[in-house]
Amino acid sequence: MMDTFEYAVLRVVPRVDRGELLNAGVIVYCRQRDYLGSRLHLDADRLRALDPTADPAAIGRALQAAADVCSAAPVAGAAGREALGSRFRWLTAPRSTVVQPGPVHTGLTADPDAEADRLLALLVLPVTG
């Protein structure tokens, strides 16, 4: 059976004033399956191409904080204790920081966890020839 899911790409914008971005993760939410998951991949070389002064470790921690909210990790605090839908909406709310969510899109899936893997490969990982 196919269920509706929503997803957003996590983007790294090392210099908000320039608006250049790098896709670095995905968040997938499927209400029917009680699923909220994320996948991350920060390409440090591509990040340095956008901003040689960017701090990959700090940006990696910011990305991990979003993943921690998805997984309800204890370090996520109050945000991680919210209902799945509330966490997804909080994570995908527009913000003007180094880690920003892209627009929310929808689709159909029988396996939201596999969908997260597929979206990471399609939208974040480097394209291989």
Q: Can you tell me the distance from the alpha carbon of 30 to that of 85, in angstroms, rounded to the nearest whole number? A: 9
DSSP H helices, 41-83, are: 44-50, 56-71, 77-80
Residue 116 to residue 27: CA distance in whole angstroms: 7
Look up residue 94 and give its two tokens. Answer: 């527009």
Query: What percentage of the chain exceeds 90 in pLDDT?
Result: 91
The domain limits of the chain are 3-25+36-123
pLDDT digits (tens, 9 = 90+) for 86-99: 999 999 999 888 99
The CA-atom distances, in angstroms, between 84 and each of 13, 34, 45, 104, 123 are 26, 7, 33, 15, 23
Model confidence band, residue 32 (pLDDT cutoffs 50, 70, 90): very high
> Cα–Cα distance between 20 and 25 in angstroms, integer?
16
pLDDT tens digits, one per residue of 58-114: 999 999 999 999 999 999 999 999 999 999 999 999 988 899 999 999 999 999 999
Average pLDDT in the chain: 95
Q: In the prediction, which pLDDT does 44 show?
A: 95
pLDDT at residue 82, as a whole number = 94
On the question of pLDDT at 129 being above 80, the answer is no
What pTM does this model have?
0.94
pLDDT tops 80 at residue 53: yes
pLDDT of residue 47: 96
Quote the distance between the C-alpha of residue 26 and its chain's center.
Answer: 3
pLDDT of residue 31: 97
Contacts of 2 (CB under 8 A, 6+ apart): 108, 109, 110
Q: Are 99 and 64 in contact (CB under 8 A)?
A: no
